[in-house]
Amino acid sequence: QSMDEDDLLVDSDSGDAEDGLDERTTVMLRNLPEGFSRQALEELLAQEGFAASYNFMYLPADICTGQTFFYAFVNLTTPREARRFHHHFTGFCSWPVPCSSLAAVEFSEALQGLDQMTERYRNSPMMHPLVPDDLRPALYSDGTRVAFPAPSRRIPAPRLRRSRTGSSRRLTVELA
């Protein structure tokens, strides 16, 4: 059985893949344009040929302003799709909005795979009813958004904390 180019490890700075194959599926896409939303990322992924290639997406954001923090976690459906995504979006600059940033893609270190991402966020303050739906982590099946599993315990409300300047209050989420 021969190995084609798609089977080779894309993330060359990681030496922990078995037999040259990388089984990771969760990536962090960095350097998103300012104001980029989950919907904008869904549309971009569809436009770039990844419409049914992911099953989880989360763009961390300031809950009060809705502004994302210029990165997203995306779980791809297979390791092959994750490698394709990594290759396609590394250095990506064809944003649908004015932006001079080049995208960077890294494999997630802390959590890998749909099960870990789902378990991490299902009881998170980010899933609390006070958090607008468009700022919450989202699950997908064949390119269509699906419901998150019910929480396994009571979801704590996001904590309201003072901003660093102390002049205004900003809702931030502390993840335990």
SS3 assignment, position 78:
coil
Token pair for residue 140? 């997908």
**Residue 128 scores a pLDDT above 60:** yes
Q: What is the structure's pLDDT at 60?
A: 93
Token pair for residue 144? 């269509």
List the 144-146 sheet strands across, edge first.
Answer: 104-107, 26-30, 71-76, 54-58, 138-141, 144-146
Q: What is the structure's pLDDT at 18?
A: 47
Higher pLDDT, 105 or 62: 105
Q: What is the structure's pLDDT at 21?
A: 53
**Residue 140 scores a pLDDT above 50:** yes
**Residue 17 scores a pLDDT above 70:** no
pLDDT band at 22 (very low <50, low <70, confident <90, very high): confident
